[in-house]
Amino acid sequence: MPQRPSVPQCPGSKAVIVPDKPAISDASTPELEISILVIDDEPRARQSICELLSPLGHPTTQAASVAEAIHLLHTKKFTLALVDLNLPDGSGLDIMRHIHANQIHTRLIVISGNSTFEHAAQSLRNGACDFIRKPYLPQTLLKTIAKEITNARTQHRYTHIQDELKGSESLHRFIVNTSPDMIYMLDERGNFSFVNQRVRSLLGCVEESLIGKHYSAIVLPEDLEKAHHIFNNWRAAACPDNSVELRLLNHQNNEQRFVEARAIPVEITTTGVYTSIGTEQDAEFVGIYGVIRDITEHKRNEALLQHHEHHDYLTGLPNRALLHDRLKMAMAQARRANNLIGILFLDIDRFKIINDSLGHLAGDKILQQVTQRLSTNLREGDTLARISGNEFMLLLTNINEHGDASAVAQEIMDGCSTPIHYQGQEVLLTFSIGVAIYPEDGISKEELIHNAYLAKCYVKGNSRNSYSFYTQSFKNVGETDLEQESALRRALNNGEFELYYQPQVDILEHRVIGLEALIRWNHPQRGFLAPSAFIPLAEKSDLICKIGQWVLERACQDARHLEDNGIKGLKVAINISAQQLNNTNFKKQVLQTTSHYGLQQNYLEIEITENSIMQNMQKTVEILTDLANAGIGIAIDDFGTGYSSLSYLQTLPVSTLKIDRSFIRDLSSNQSTPPIITAILTLTAALKIKCIAEGVETDEQKTVLQLAGGKFIQGYLYCRPQAFTQLLSYLRQAKDGVLNHQDQLRST
């Protein structure tokens, strides 16, 4: 014999003991008011009964006929009626029949002189409670009446309790049926013994159709295991979690369910029910009851939240996080299948202009259209993600060769030729696309994405509206540098550089003696950029040599032009970076270019800083000596700021020293000339080297310099750097290079 389980006592359990008998309380029953109707045609008989009853304190009423009695019974409630059988208009039996037929709750005692058995039996059959024969002893009547009053009171209490019970039951039924949750009860075999009306809207069936059916009839097969587990645990009194989520079968097709069409997600609370005759150890499992709550809405919100966590709110596309997940999966797959993966980093060119000119709302709408367009040709398994404002990423899974990725990139670019329409306006958008291929361009997702990004930066800086694969040369270059570097390359190819010229003036003779060529970048978006904005970057790569080559070429060309325009004898100085000096072709390039333009060598001067010289002293001295021997001037730029070893002045054929602007800035007529200026001037005079003071802006500075023996200056006081055409007209004014004092020209 298996042992009976005891009622579980663990915390959270809601096991209940069903009571064997309900305890009914009559404490609240109102007192029954007793009133007595005395029916007799004999006035004295009626009177004597009333007098006999008066000590009891119950009101009495008298009736002399059947008609009068019936009338009174209809107008008033009587607890008790004492009826004589012989009445003038009929028999007491007629009253009894009437009472019965009309369901009047008055107890009847027959008092009759006809004391045969027949009479008594007839009376009792017709509903009389008792029969008293006349003449009677007063005690007999009083005893009978007292007994019937007790009976009436018991009946009254019983009826009251019945009414109360009926009331509370319907109240409970109401509560149960209007509950927003389904309330159920299963018997010990798991069959439904009760369900409330909520089952109609939840499962689309009536209560009766479920009664007697096993719970497995409504649980989704996938979740049956879970349901069995809970049920069996209650049966074994193992006290399971009393709340669990599972899915019920959805039999109705009228509602579009978000989570899964055939399933209704619910939360079920379960409570084991046990009876107990004696101790808890005797408890017997009789089933479980509980509540089933529809959590579709909750699940929908949960799913929505999850969706938002992984998708971009504006376009609905996967976001960066989801892309990372998919990429991770794709990489694992590609490893197994020995396939390639392509990552396309897409950046909408000049999207800021759209936002700035049409507004952010327009920008958002256009982004949505772009998304639609990009999504149309997606292959199954590919992922398009939006990862920031105007940046998208396209993950191409299972590609076989680079060509597959470039075909997609080309397709995207081709699609760009069709304009996007926004409020009657046509917007043409292009993309800069960087492509990285797994595994060759990276074996981690971060590396792959970064390399696609670098390739994109390269395209963005270069031509835009184009795509590029990642190459090793992008490695170790910062993305902005890479972007700018490729922008610089584009600038070279597109002729975005210009040379400005700043005259160098002999202040004693008031004559222009030379020009310094200063580069400017006419950037398509950012306007004119000073060298400090790009030369330092160019110096990080071989770009500075290419730019330097361009400067040399252009400066020579312009010098030729000046000659051709009758402006002769002006030395053109160009700035040379240290890397250029290290370039083995440098010397050759300089000599070839000057001779190509038919320039006399002494019309060119190269400006070089002390620091550059020091970088590779021996080689630099060699190159510069060769150049100097060929007639090319050598100027030491920013003199006094760098590595001031004067020894090189002995070995190097220097033609000019340029005093750095920082020494000139603070020159004032109120103070004595700084010793460094005096020293440089003395030194250059001794070495027969020309000395040019840079950055002279005021007459005061010029005067101080002049008094100290300075002869040559370059600065805003005379002329700001000029574009070549402006320079030409400036020089033409200065006839034969001689300036008059209004010739001070300002420019940007």
Binding residues for ligand C2E, rule: CB under 6 A, are 502, 518-519, 530-532, 535, 548, 551, 574-575, 577, 607, 637-638, 661, 694-697, 714-716, 721
CB of residue 555 to ligand C2E, shortest distance in Å: 8
CB of residue 516 to Ca ion, shortest distance in Å: 6
CB of residue 430 to ligand C2E, shortest distance in Å: 32
518 binds, among Ca ion, ligand C2E, none (CB under 5 to 8 A by kind): ligand C2E
234 vs 501 by CB, closer to ligand C2E: 501
327 vs 555 by CB, closer to ligand C2E: 555
530 binds, among Ca ion, ligand C2E, none (CB under 5 to 8 A by kind): ligand C2E
Contacts 24+ apart (CB under 8 A), 28-33: 28/164, 29/156, 29/157, 29/160, 29/161, 30/160, 32/79, 32/152, 32/153, 32/156, 32/157, 33/79
Residue among 181, 567, 638, 719 that touches Ca ion (CB under 5 A) = 638
What the block records as the tokens of 451 is 């390399």
For the chain, counts of helices (H) and of strands (E): 26, 30
3-state class percentages of the chain: helix first, strand second, coil last, to nearest 5: 45, 25, 30
Question: ∠ at Cα 142 (161, 149), nearest 5°?
Answer: 5
214 vs 661 by CB, closer to ligand C2E: 661
- CA distance linking residue 461 with residue 491, whole number of Å: 9
Residue among 61, 397, 575, 579 that touches Ca ion (CB under 5 A) = 575
441 binds, among ligand C2E, Ca ion, none (CB under 5 to 8 A by kind): none
404 vs 697 by CB, closer to ligand C2E: 697
551 binds, among Ca ion, ligand C2E, none (CB under 5 to 8 A by kind): ligand C2E
CB of residue 686 to ligand C2E, shortest distance in Å: 24
Please enumerate in sequence order all residues whose Cβ is within 8 A of that of 381, keeping only pairs 6 or more positions apart, or say none.
Answer: 330, 397, 398
240 binds, among Ca ion, ligand C2E, none (CB under 5 to 8 A by kind): none
- CA distance linking residue 739 with residue 427, whole number of Å: 54
The pattern of x and - marking residues 599 through 628 that bind Ca ion according to CB under 5 A reads --------x---------------------
350 binds, among ligand C2E, Ca ion, none (CB under 5 to 8 A by kind): none
- CA distance linking residue 51 with residue 36, whole number of Å: 12
Please check whether residue 519 is in contact with residue 499, taking contact to mean a CB–CB distance below 8 angstroms.
yes
- CA distance linking residue 195 with residue 100, whole number of Å: 41
- Kindly give the pairing relationship between strand 340-348 and strand 431-438: antiparallel
289: nearest Cα among 133, 402, 181, 374: 181
Contact call for residue 223 and Ca ion (CB under 5 A): no
Site residues (CB under 5 A) for Ca ion, limited to 657-696: 694
Residue among 637, 710, 718, 734 that touches Ca ion (CB under 5 A) = 637
98 vs 560 by CB, closer to ligand C2E: 560
- DSSP code, position 79: S
- If residue 502 lies in a helix (H) or strand (E), which one and from where to where? strand 497-506
Residue 114: how many other CB atoms lie within 10 Å: 17
485 binds, among ligand C2E, Ca ion, none (CB under 5 to 8 A by kind): none
715 binds, among Ca ion, ligand C2E, none (CB under 5 to 8 A by kind): ligand C2E
Residue 249: how many other CB atoms lie within 10 Å: 15
409 vs 635 by CB, closer to Ca ion: 635
- CA distance linking residue 748 with residue 743, whole number of Å: 16
Please check whether residue 535 is in contact with residue 544, taking contact to mean a CB–CB distance below 8 angstroms.
yes
312 vs 694 by CB, closer to ligand C2E: 694
- Kindly give the pairing relationship between strand 604-609 and strand 527-529: unpaired
> What's the maximum distance between 2 C-alpha atoms anywhere in the chain?
173
CB of residue 624 to Ca ion, shortest distance in Å: 16
584 binds, among ligand C2E, Ca ion, none (CB under 5 to 8 A by kind): none
490 vs 661 by CB, closer to ligand C2E: 661
Please check whether residue 522 is in contact with residue 497, taking contact to mean a CB–CB distance below 8 angstroms.
yes
Residue type, 699: D
- CA distance linking residue 388 with residue 445, whole number of Å: 18
256 vs 742 by CB, closer to ligand C2E: 742
Distance from the Cα of residue 4 to its chain's centroid = 55
CB of residue 550 to ligand C2E, shortest distance in Å: 9
CB of residue 374 to Ca ion, shortest distance in Å: 50
91 vs 504 by CB, closer to ligand C2E: 504
286 vs 705 by CB, closer to Ca ion: 705
Using the contact rule CB under 5 A, the part of the chain among 55-63, 133-141, 441-449, 637-645 near Ca ion is 637-645
Residues that bind Ca ion (CB under 5 A): 575, 607, 637-638, 694
